[in-house]
Structure 1
Amino acid sequence: MHLHILLTADHAYIDNATGKLYVLGAFNNIGVPQFPWRYEKMALVVRIGSDVTDRTNEQILTAILMDEDSQEILKLSIPFTLGIAHDGTRPHFDMIGELAGVIFPQPGKYVFRIYVGDDELGSTPIDITALKR
């Protein structure tokens, strides 16, 4: 299994008619006026692709947001199944985690880590900084 896309954005959606993934306002740095800061809405966008040797039964994708001390801030899990493509296309799974009200208690380096089962597929950073007044 391969992690093809991993990012945070203001909004993301999948067009049901075309299957296209649309991402608006991708970011990895947020400047905020005060702490703790409640980020009202963000999307965690993940695309996983498969190899012919990958399992096709149900698996669990887990996303964990951690702070600099590896303390868990947020965790979400979703079951998924990567099918077998008989038409020559490469199967993939898209997840858009619509996150509302995420609390960042202090400035620092945060990271989303992505797992399938016990295997870490990748990570993406979010730096939270205080705006200068």
Structure 2
Amino acid sequence: MHSKPQLLAWVTCDGVHIDPATGKHTLLGIFSNIGAAQFPFVHPYMIWFLTLTDCGPGQHRLRISMAMGNETPRPMIERMFESVSPLHRINLINDIRNLVFPQPGVYSILVEIDDEPLLATDLTVTN
């Protein structure tokens, strides 16, 4: 039996710089809500950054879905990644471009690894 992957970090930000010499990640412009003057609003670019551990060796699938209210969550990101060992920490940088928010409100976000939910959080969009 293998352990369930653990989510160590979930951050919404404007950018991620990776130092070529050290491999260190610097997160730029961290935010937790969005303000818009009018709706529908298109957010041009953001990053959903996450750090995982306890992923068994091999290929895994990340899915990040989003919904408002009682809507069916819509997959925004689906991608494969590889784990060498459950001891490794895996940083995944997910670019989100031209994300449309039809109205102000609380948008729920669901993060899954191999169809197992790891995190349910939200993003508030106000006017």
Same fold by TM-score, threshold 0.5 exceeded?
A: yes
1:25 Cα deviation from its structure 2 partner: 1.3
Amino acid at match of 1:93: I
- What is the TM-score of this pair, normalised by structure 2? 0.87
Task: Determine the structure 1 residue equivalent to 2:108.
Answer: 111
Q: Which structure 2 residue ranges, 5 or more long, are not aligned? A: none
Aligned to 2:64: 63
The DSSP-based 3-state class of the residue aligned with 1:27 is coil
Unaligned runs of 5+ in 1: none
Q: Is the 8 A contact 1:7 1:124 kept in 2?
A: no
Conservation of the 8 A alpha-carbon contact between 1:6 and 1:124: no
Describe the SS at the equivalent of 2:14: strand
CA radius of gyration, larger in: 1
Contact 1:66 1:74 in 2 (8 A): no
Change beyond 3 A, Cα 1:93–1:8: same
Percent identity of the aligned residues? Answer: 26
Rounded Cα–Cα distance in structure 1 between residues aligned with 2:20 and 2:40: 37
Measured in 1, the distance between the counterparts of 2:88 and 2:61 equals: 16
1:16-95 alignment to 2 at 5 Å?
A: 16-50=20-54, 54-84=55-85, 90-95=87-92
The two structures have a TM-score, normalised by structure 1, of: 0.83
Counterpart CA distance in 2 for 1:47 and 1:94 is: 4
Aligned-residue CA RMSD (Å): 1.7
